Structure 1
Amino acid sequence: MVTPPNDRRPTEGAPSRRTVLGATLVATASAATVLRLGTPAHGLTAADEAGAGRTPVGPVGVETGRLSGTATALPGVTVFRGVPYAATTAGEHRWRPPRPAPTWSGLRAADTFGDACPQGIPPWVTSPPTMSEDCLNLNVWTTTAEPRSRRPVFVWFYGGRFNGGFASDPAFDGAGLARRGLVVVTVNYRTGPLGFLTVPQLTAESGNDSSGNYGLLDQIAALRWVQRNISAFGGDPDRVTIAGQSAGAASVLDLVYAPLARGLFHRAVAESGALGPHDPEIAALASSYRPSLIVAEAQGTAWAAQRGATTLAEMRALTVAQVLTDDNQNDSSVSSPVNGSPPLFRPVLDGYVLARSYGDSLESGLHNDVPVLTGNNKDESGASSTPATTLAAFRDLAARKYGSMAEEFLSLYPAADDTEAGEQANASIRDGFRVSTSLWATAWARRAKSPVFTYFWTHAPPGAAQIPGMTGAYHGSEMNYVFDNLYATDRPWTAEDRRIAETMSSYIVSFATHGDPNRAGLPHWAPARPDQFSTMELGDHWRRIPDAGAGKTDFFRRYYPTQPTW
């Protein structure tokens, strides 16, 4: 595994848009979301506002009882909030797989979002959710409670560095997509140490010689709940799309690779997601995982000892505050050339939930063979709309990352001063990630029959940065357009933004419906072809673009195989 020296950052003074693995995503969503569903905001038409408050659909019956929903700000759309899909994880159930949700009698009003899983809240989040360890709940947006409707289902897993996030975030408001014919589900799952702690005692008690992937097990439990219950909301359990951004995208891909998730979904959307298994930046980005269960157990043991706990009983007796103290630690044993170190608490290659490495899964063809839609954003993963690197730092990065190929790299991306260095750093990062994603698609095609649709998002949302440094087509900037929920975020949206949201969400609805984003009236989006290095630009334009110039593509195609495999 790549473990370069940890004594440098290539773009000093400029944090990477994807280094934080969705911490920026939580910021994007939460800082933009003092509004809640049902509050008029930019993007709602007068007809929408006039239709708000109409009679909701339902009630519905699920395996644990009957539910009533509540009307949304969009006419005809009902939301069922805080629906339990599993039981509490508190006390003796901490660091255990999810258990069935309890039943209830009578009609339960699903009109309030459920508790979020415990996590540290960044200072820019103005309206933090209520949190508890009884947090395994989900939300459903629909326009019908008729089981025979069999609408496509869109299940969303939030990002947040595997350290936070919550399904009630208005950035993931599902009413816009529900109005377009999908049944939308957003899922709470455990993150940070509560979701990914690994210690030998947990491995020993598990019965399958594994520990540390409780957050992924939560997601699998939610998908099983969807299979058993979504028809009550008009959903089709045979057309389930799993989707996410950043750490949510990594979750989606982990489930694509996971034998335990087989048959639970039928398409996958990974925003800021798939990279070629030889890409060294995986070490720090959302798709990073802990490659050694033994090392992860040692790290977990040291973490528990810092809190005075050596037995499972002592660990489970820790207060939530004690568990969350310094919960956003980095894993200093791993780093990447551009994006630094990943979070300590993240998925682990345990042989059970994550049964194989990414490279082995792709090589063996033992992944879940479903259509995949995945891509990257223009200003993330080290690229920035306001680059701050210097010529010296750029040349130093070239030497450290490319070694014997550094001179060739610098001839392809020449720079004579700091301004040119920033421009070439951006260009090389963007080219490298586009080629990397195409290499992933090529590896996928060797064993899979289902298509891959790759993209490059280029549109910058309007208005001032709501979080410092988040400008341009930043990490997570596509989400309001994907969900067609501009009404949920308070920005000065324009008619052009609404047109972009219309097109982007139409691609998503078509993909969730048919496994193909194309439909009449949309610019054609060709699937990726093996060794065809181009991608679909989305946002400012809707067109096929090359991943990089011919000589640059050839450079990255030769460079990546020299790196270890994830």
Structure 2
Amino acid sequence: MNLRGALLAAGAALLALTGPALAAAGPVARAPVGAVEGRLDGTVEVFKGIPYAQPPVGQARWRPPTAAPDWQGVRKATAFGAACVQPVAAPGGIYEDPIPPMSEDCLSLNVWTPKGAAKAPVLVWIHGGALTTGASAEAMYDGRKLAERGVVVVSINYRLGVLGWLAHPGLSAESAGGVSGNYGLLDQIEALRWVRRNIAAFGGDAANVTIAGESAGGLSVMYLMASPPARGLFAKAIAESAYMISTPELKAPAHGHPSAEQSGLALADKLKSPDIAALRAMDAQALTRAAAAAGFAPFGAVDGKVLAGQLVDVFDRGQQAPVPILAGFNAGEIRSLRMLAARPPASAAIYEAAIRERYRDLADAYLRLYPPTNLEESILAATRDGLYGWTAERLAAKQTAIGQPAYLYLFDHGYPDADFAGLHAFHASELPYVFGTADRVGPHWPKPPRADAEQRLSQAMIGYWTSFAKTGAPTAEGQPAWPAYDRSRAYMAFRDAPRPADGLMPGMYDLHEEVIRRRRAAGDQPWNWNVGLWSPVLPGR
């Protein structure tokens, strides 16, 4: 070998050196899966884009995730991984946020950890987006402020839309268990398994993991609580604006839904794909767009294995994960989700007549809560409560019933930009306060002011959320004690400041619980967005 060749070879060998032989520019975590190099952000070490599962591409599309293989050397972890494939959002929407490049190779996670942490509590964040959109890279989910309070924060990507939630007889036939669908949920479970194996290397305590999410992330938290394979992978749960709606059964129609497999067959027919091989041959982005345009709605499938039963049934039987819970919703949920609510009719008389026809002997109770005096506000409130309010209180009630601490909240905070736009306490508006990221909201998000009062509210919420992750009891320095739900049905109201109270919206939970009890008993009515004027005629007592 000549001198030039020898120098080139020596240079290549030097570049390949990792670990102690070559000093890393940023912090290094040496996990069982392999070493990763992140960066230091103040007192917080940040590691991004760590793969937790192998790419679900080709023949691996629509199969349960497989753990990412271990690696040698030090892997750079300073940039977010690709977002999972999803439809491109229409510009100008309130929830529009720059999404990183998309790929089927998207099963990655990110870690924020206090420098020098050891046995710290862990919070695993599951993003929202109707199981259709979103990514762990969204700026509002930055975990630094939570990590500064002594919590290791992990945020994850999981398969979305048709790629994450398609059930089909052909896929069930491939499965050893004879089931299909729920791939996005299985991804979440695989990420929790990665945390259990590796998080100690980042200073986290694998025995003290809190799962947390908002909207579809809150739905995912409930799925995980009801999923036998997820049992033992977490110790606490936080569900923000979750919705305990009916979901398809895998094999048979139930509660007004076609079976999940039948929905998969119908989609394949619309896409002119005779079998799974044809669907796997489609470009991921084209398939995702086509499925969304065809009306495919991603949800979990009750298969008796990954999802043991309808969420309401699992929680009624006390078969959910026996863990403390923090759950709540926002006063203005539907103000930014008006597609979920019926338009006001021409008159109060039409409204009242329609409610009496649909709600029968429950109409008086309904009209007391949602009177015809202000049709728009009553319709918004009824839709909010039928989805989010009832779910939040039900979670608190059902965890209390199995002897677990439960903490309920109502976020009813407004600020000028949001209130002026008619978006007081809108869906997801608590998130910048929980994460301390009011300066990182999307381009069309009403901007929270920089006022001291806003900072105090955010600091209080960060305190409550992180202390719950640590101990299972939410506390915040200098703030009122947050009472457990218990028999007094206590809750915390977040308005201009945290204020504890008892008896949230008297009559709300009991009305919607009775409505859904009757629908379940009838067996042919879903419970989801069919509230108020969109409700079918309810079954009798």
**Paired AA for residue 344 in structure 2:** T
CA contact (8 A) 1:196 1:215 kept: yes
Cα 1:308–1:359 shift into 2, 3 Å = same
**Paired AA for residue 249 in structure 2:** P
After superposition, give the CA deviation of every residue in 1:285-323 in whole Å (9 maximum; x if it has no partner): xxx422343421111112122223222222211111331
The answer as to 2:252 corresponding to 1:290 is no
Deviation of 1:559 after TM superposition, in Å, equals 4.6
The answer as to 2:139 corresponding to 1:170 is yes
Match of residue 110, structure 2, among 132, 139, 147: 139
Q: Partners of 1:237 and 1:56 in 2: how far apart?
A: 27
Deviation of 1:546 after TM superposition, in Å, equals 4.6
The answer as to 2:469 corresponding to 1:517 is no
Give SS of 1:325's match. helix
**Paired AA for residue 301 in structure 2:** V
Instruction: Tell me the residue number matched to 2:531.
Output: none
After superposition, give the CA deviation of every residue in 1:403-430 in whole Å (9 maximum; x if it has no partner): 33224533554435xxx22344445556
**Paired AA for residue 437 in structure 1:** A
Mean CA deviation greater in 394-403 or 208-217: 394-403
Match of residue 233, structure 1, among 197, 202, 226: 202
**Paired AA for residue 62 in structure 2:** W
CA contact (8 A) 2:166 2:264 kept: yes
CA contact (8 A) 1:120 1:327 kept: no
Instruction: Tell me the residue number matched to 1:326.
Output: 290
Instruction: Tell me the residue number matched to 2:120.
Output: 151
CA contact (8 A) 2:489 2:502 kept: yes
CA contact (8 A) 2:99 2:137 kept: no
**Paired AA for residue 430 in structure 2:** E
Match of residue 70, structure 2, among 98, 103, 109: 103
Match of residue 458, structure 1, among 393, 404, 412: 412
Cα 1:374–1:472 shift into 2, 3 Å = same
- TM-score, normalising length: structure 2: 0.81
Match of residue 332, structure 2, among 362, 376, 379: 379
Instruction: Tell me the residue number matched to 1:23.
Output: none
Match of residue 563, structure 1, among 507, 516, 519: 519
Task: In structure 1, list runs of 5 or more residues that go unmatched.
Answer: 1-54, 276-281, 283-287, 332-342
Deviation of 1:57 after TM superposition, in Å, equals 6.0
Deviation of 1:224 after TM superposition, in Å, equals 0.3
Cα 1:162–1:465 shift into 2, 3 Å = farther
Instruction: Tell me the residue number matched to 1:112.
Output: 79
The answer as to 2:29 corresponding to 1:60 is yes
Deviation of 1:384 after TM superposition, in Å, equals 8.3
Q: Partners of 2:264 and 2:437 in 1: how far apart?
A: 40
Match of residue 190, structure 1, among 153, 159, 163: 159
Q: In the TM superposition, what are the counterparts of 1:246-395 in structure 2 within 5 Å?
A: 246-273=215-242, 282=245, 288-294=246-252, 295-328=259-292, 344-381=297-334, 389-390=344-345, 391-392=347-348, 394-395=351-352
**Paired AA for residue 371 in structure 1:** P
CA contact (8 A) 1:534 1:547 kept: yes
Instruction: Tell me the residue number matched to 1:82.
Output: 49
**Paired AA for residue 132 in structure 1:** S
After superposition, give the CA deviation of every residue in 1:201-258 in whole Å (9 maximum; x if it has no partner): 1111111121100000000000000000001111111110100000000001110111
Q: Partners of 1:415 and 1:470 in 2: how far apart?
A: 20
CA contact (8 A) 1:431 1:548 kept: no
Match of residue 439, structure 2, among 487, 512, 515: 487
After superposition, give the CA deviation of every residue in 1:454-503 in whole Å (9 maximum; x if it has no partner): 1110113553699xx77211110001111122232373432221111100
After superposition, give the CA deviation of every residue in 1:355-408 in whole Å (9 maximum; x if it has no partner): 1222321232221100011111101147989x9734446436523552332245
Give SS of 1:359's match. helix
Instruction: Tell me the residue number matched to 1:94.
Output: 61
> How many residues are paired up?
479
Q: Partners of 2:108 and 2:127 in 1: how far apart?
A: 13
Instruction: Tell me the residue number matched to 1:127.
Output: 98
Give SS of 1:239's match. strand
Instruction: Tell me the residue number matched to 1:17.
Output: none
Give SS of 1:521's match. coil
The answer as to 2:168 corresponding to 1:199 is yes
* Backbone CA RMSD of aligned residues: 2.9
CA contact (8 A) 2:393 2:509 kept: no
Q: Partners of 1:403 and 1:361 in 2: how far apart?
A: 28
Give SS of 2:291's match. coil
Q: In the TM superposition, what are the counterparts of 1:398-417 in structure 2 within 5 Å?
A: 398-399=355-356, 401-411=358-368, 413-416=370-373
Cα 1:328–1:308 shift into 2, 3 Å = closer
Instruction: Tell me the residue number matched to 1:36.
Output: none
Cα 1:553–1:203 shift into 2, 3 Å = closer
CA contact (8 A) 2:418 2:424 kept: no
Greater relative contact order (Cα < 8 A, sep 6+):
1
* Bigger-Rg structure (1/2): 2
CA contact (8 A) 2:59 2:280 kept: yes
Instruction: Tell me the residue number matched to 1:543.
Output: 499
Mean CA deviation greater in 391-400 or 205-214: 391-400
Q: Partners of 1:183 and 1:411 in 2: how far apart?
A: 46
Q: Partners of 2:162 and 2:441 in 1: how far apart?
A: 30
Q: Partners of 1:57 and 1:353 in 2: how far apart?
A: 39
Match of residue 465, structure 2, among 504, 508, 515: 508
Give SS of 2:292's match. coil
CA contact (8 A) 1:144 1:233 kept: no
Deviation of 1:547 after TM superposition, in Å, equals 4.4
Give SS of 2:106's match. coil
Q: Partners of 1:201 and 1:145 in 2: how far apart?
A: 49
Deviation of 1:564 after TM superposition, in Å, equals 1.7
Task: In structure 2, list runs of 5 or more residues that go unmatched.
Answer: 1-23, 253-258, 522-526, 528-541
